[in-house]
Amino acid sequence: MTVFRAPLLPVVLAEARSQPADAPASVDADTRAALAELYARHAPPIRRFLRDLLGDTALAADATQETFCRAYRRLGSLDDRARSVPWLFAIARNVSLELRRARMRHGKVFVPHETTHEAHDAVCRMGSPEAVLLDQESVRVVGAALARLGEDRRAALLLRFDHGLAYEEIAEAMSWTLAKVKIEIFRAREVLRATLDEYRAGGAR
């Protein structure tokens, strides 16, 4: 009896070598230029957004890099470059959610970074004493308000007031309905106003 043994090894090797759709491919010059432009334009706000969500400067830097790595891999799915802002923020938020989950597993929690010396040192390096004072106050008040918000609501408020995204763009970035965006921003604004009122009354330190 002849036992047929199929040439399995080449088949298995060929299957294992076949790359999945999202496998990293070499970066051609055009893509490199597109990504560099995207980075130059959007890296600072993305990093600020991530820092606000994660409360950690070093982690935000890593998350920014991860955001743009993912953006590169999905660059082909971006039909309209004009929609790149909500698209990038959506990626950034997903990255932050994953990092937060990972940190929660290790028992770490969100700490508003405005309370660190770094933010105060940063504003002290700037301009006139009035400007320094204004910036310090804004960092403190907004930071106090953000610390009172849950992650989702904080993200929505930041996207609207800090990054100036339209409601429709926020809905796209957060994968929410427009109605939910309006409700979340309304409630976040209430918290912001309450914090501002406390600040004026001498609280919110």
DSSP class of residue 107 equals T
Q: How far is CA 22 from CA 32, 55, 69, 98, in A?
A: 17, 30, 12, 19
Q: How many CA atoms lie within 13 A of 169 on its CB side?
A: 17
**Residue (46 or 100) nearer to another protein, CB:** 46
**Residue (164 or 203) nearer to another protein, CB:** 164
**Residue (3 or 105) nearer to another protein, CB:** 3
Q: For the purposes of burial, counting CB atoms within 10 Å of the CB of 57, is it exposed (0-12), middle (13-18) or buried (19 or more)?
A: middle
**Residue (90 or 199) nearer to another protein, CB:** 199
The least distance separating another protein from the CB of residue 18, rounded to whole angstroms, comes to: 9
| Closest alpha carbon to 168 in 95, 83, 53, 91 | 83
Residues that bind another protein (CB under 8 A): 1-9, 11-13, 15-17, 19, 23-27, 32, 35-36, 39-40, 43-45, 47-48, 51, 61, 64-65, 68-69, 72, 118-119, 121-123, 125-126, 134-136, 138-139, 141-143, 158, 160-162, 164, 166-167, 182, 186, 189, 192-193, 196
